[in-house]
């Protein structure tokens, strides 16, 4: 397996050096693994901090900047960051208005952010947390760790970021973020396994003629394996899975997300099919975003995320954003 790296041990640090070189508007603390917008803390503004394992770029460091996150904490590849990173990030961005932790529902992320919240509060920083758990491929029951957090993380970060720009108070932004998550659902498929630098090859076997339905963003195997399907068939499966769970009516915000190893040509073709199925189900698409935003290293595949967005959410979605990975309106 060929990879464009030096050695596996320095993959994250090397990427952060590149991020710093390419984006002087960011402050990148490579040693402590904290990425902060250079103008932080922004006076009077609630700060947004997220983070998670590396390997999902541009999530999260690529979403640091005006209109979105104030700081991100990249962990090792597919491993959540440690509490020290989050406490450091919170201290760097808190203007006194408090900090919202945006946490994907994975056991490691939850435990580390919980510990960080306790420590940050001991330092006098007001903390609120929102848990993102949008993945309908996972049964949410007593017998699992609950639904995973995937594509909806981008919706939560963007919409809450815009609300923070309006100088709304912490509790209100946390409530809005929780509503965005509750209105969002995702479903992912993998066409190939993911290769981590540490392993130097695929972390699971996916034969050429098969695909994995309901895959997560860490290359963990999905729930079901089937013979390869067409783009249209995959769209049928994914959109029905999402809508059958979501309920409600009204327009949606749509993210057709690439996992890192699928070309945009395929992703746009898939987007056409996703729009077709949404149309067949009578769901108007208010906004579409297509691209590689919540990736899994080199995994081929895609995920579909929809958010049943109200007018306020759509307005905040349209608000200006200026980050490495998402930029419009200014």
Partner 1 sequence: MGDEGRDKGGTGGPGTLDAAFFRRWLDAAAALIDEEAERLTALDSAIGDADHGANMRRGFSAVRESLAAEEPASPQAVLALAGRRLVSTVGGASGPLYGTLLRRTGKALGEALGERTDPDRTEFAAALRAGIDAVSALGGAKPGDKTMIDALVPAAEALSTSWEAAAEAAREGAAATVPMRAHKGRASYLGERSEGHEDPGAASAALLLGALADTAGRAGA
Q: 228-267 mask for partner 1 (x: CB under 8 A)?
A: ----------------------------------------
φ, ψ (nearest 5 deg) of residue 20: -65, -40
Rounded to the nearest angstrom, the gap between the alpha carbon of residue 303 and the centroid of all alpha carbons in its chain is 11
Size of the site for partner 1 (CB under 8 A): 36
Q: Which is catalytic among the residues 23, 60, 218, 237?
A: 218
**Window contacting partner 1 (CB under 8 A); options: 135-143, 155-163, 242-250, 261-269:** 135-143
Does residue 56 carry a catalytic annotation? Answer: yes
Sign of CA dihedral 54, 189, 322, 324: positive
Sheet holding 127-132: strands in order across? 26-29, 34-37, 71-77, 47-54, 99-104, 127-132
Does residue 240 carry a catalytic annotation? Answer: no
d(CA 257, CA 293) in angstroms, rounded, equals 6
Which of 39, 144, 264, 310 touches partner 1 by CB under 8 A? 144
Confirm or reject binding of residue 298 to partner 1 (CB under 8 A): no
Confirm or reject binding of residue 107 to partner 1 (CB under 8 A): yes
* Residues 74, 213, 61: CA angle, nearest 5 degrees: 15
Give the DSSP letter of residue 148: P
Sequential DSSP letters for 82-110 = PHHHHHHHHHHH--SS-EEEEEES-HHHH
Which of 25, 108, 175, 291 touches partner 1 by CB under 8 A? 108
159-218 binders of partner 1 (CB under 8 A) = 196, 198-199, 203-204, 216, 218
Confirm or reject binding of residue 22 to partner 1 (CB under 8 A): no
Confirm or reject binding of residue 79 to partner 1 (CB under 8 A): yes
Q: Provide the greatest CA pair distance for the chain.
A: 55
Footprint of partner 1 on this chain (CB under 8 A)? 53, 75-84, 106-108, 111-112, 115, 137-139, 142-145, 148, 196, 198-199, 203-204, 216, 218-221, 223
Active site residues: 56, 218
């Amino acid at each position: 397996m060929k990879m464009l790296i030096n050695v596996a041990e320095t993959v994250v640090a090397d990427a952060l050096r590149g991020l710093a070189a390419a984006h002087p508007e960011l402050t990148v603390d490579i040693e402590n693994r904290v990425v902060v917008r250079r103008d932080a803390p922004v006076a009077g503004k609630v700060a947004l901090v997220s983070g998670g394992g590396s390997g999902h770029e541009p999530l999260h460091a690529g979403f640091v900047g005006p209109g979105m996150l104030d700081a991100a904490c990249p962990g090792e590849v597919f491993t959540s960051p440690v509490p020290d990173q989050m406490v450091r990030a919170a201290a760097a961005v808190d203007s006194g208005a408090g900090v919202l932790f945006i946490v994907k529902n994975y056991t490691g992320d939850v435990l580390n952010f919980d510990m960080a919240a306790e420590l940050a509060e001991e330092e006098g920083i007001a903390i609120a947390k929102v848990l993102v758990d949008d993945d309908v491929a996972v049964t949410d029951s007593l017998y699992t760790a609950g639904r995973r957090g995937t594509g909806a993380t981008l919706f939560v970060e963007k919409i809450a970021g815009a609300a923070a720009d309006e100088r709304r108070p912490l509790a209100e932004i946390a409530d809005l973020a929780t509503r965005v998550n509750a209105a969002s659902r995702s479903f992912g498929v993998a066409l190939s396994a993911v290769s981590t630098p540490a392993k130097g090859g695929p972390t699971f076997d996916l034969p050429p003629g098969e695909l994995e339905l309901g895959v997560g963003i860490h290359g963990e195997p999905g729930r079901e394996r089937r013979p390869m399907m067409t783009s249209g068939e995959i769209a049928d499966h994914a959109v029905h899975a999402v809508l059958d769970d979501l309920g409600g009516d009204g327009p949606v915000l749509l993210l057709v997300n690439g996992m890192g190893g699928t070309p945009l040509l395929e992703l746009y073709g898939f987007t056409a099919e996703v729009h077709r199925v949404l149309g067949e189900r009578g769901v108007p698409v208010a906004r579409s975003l297509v691209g590689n935003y919540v990736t899994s290293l080199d995994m081929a595949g895609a995920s579909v995320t929809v958010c049943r967005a109200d007018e306020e959410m759509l307005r905040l979605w349209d608000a200006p954003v200026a980050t490495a990975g998402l930029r419009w309106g200014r």
